[in-house]
Amino acid sequence: MKANSAIRRKGSVRSSAAKHGGAELEDTSAVEASSAGINEASVNRRILGIDPGLANTGWGILDNINGRIRYIAHGIIQTKNDIPRAKRLFFILQSIRQVIDKYEPAEAAIENLYFGRNVSSAIPVAEARGVISAAIAERGIPLHELTPNIIKLGVTGHAGAGKKQVQEMIKIILGLDKVPKPEHAADALGAAICASNNPMSAL
């Protein structure tokens, strides 16, 4: 993994890591990340979790090492409302490709879309989910598609758990000093935790 690199276009990506160095990419939006050092030789399964959204897409990386979960990194991909939607979606696509290329996950997990009553507000999320899923498929990575209740169940043991309870359990499971921020990144880590407890044969 490359240490300090910079590519400039029209926005910014900020990344900081304990052992991986940082990167900055200027574009129509921003990606922010934080991560921890790892021992690549001991990794059994590396999982990318995604919480999709047009304005905010959270992502998280963890390793399942002989059944033990280890936190690696998390971040957020942000796009601005005043940018044309097509450009926002393309930036999300490019950014997910960067995350995949940097961390090389063997599996991915994404939260299924729940439309509820407000279908119009779910459409942009569905579009973001589509380009993210395409980026994952492009790299040939198996994808876990998980409902919100399944993620809650996988993290806390209770499908009806509240958001604060889920976030606190994510912190405990990953051995972090505090709940991961922002919220979208914490949700992505929750999806990765849930997927890590499921064998690939379940896909």
Report the number of distinct structural domains present in the chain: 1
pLDDT at 118: 67
> 123 and 114 in contact (C-beta within 8 Å)?
no
End-to-end CA distance of the chain: 29
Averaged pLDDT, 90-96: 98
Q: Return all residues near 145 (Cβ < 8 A) that are at least 6 apart.
A: 109, 110, 112
Q: How far apart are CA 37 and CA 87, in angstroms?
A: 33
* Predicted model pTM: 0.79
- Which has the higher per-residue pLDDT, 120 or 94? 94
- Which has the higher per-residue pLDDT, 10 or 97? 97
Residue tagged 């498929």 (tokens) = 137
Q: How far apart are CA 139 and CA 118, in angstroms?
A: 33
pLDDT in tens, 20-30: 333 333 333 44
pLDDT in tens, 148-190: 899 999 998 888 888 899 999 999 999 999 999 999 999 999 9
> 27 and 9 in contact (C-beta within 8 Å)?
yes
Structure tokens at 32: 């922010």
pLDDT at 34: 57
Q: Among all residues, which ones are annotated catalytic?
A: 51, 111, 184
- Which has the higher per-residue pLDDT, 16 or 87? 87
Q: What is the CATH number of the domain that holds 95?
A: 3.30.420.10
Range of the domain at 164: 5-202
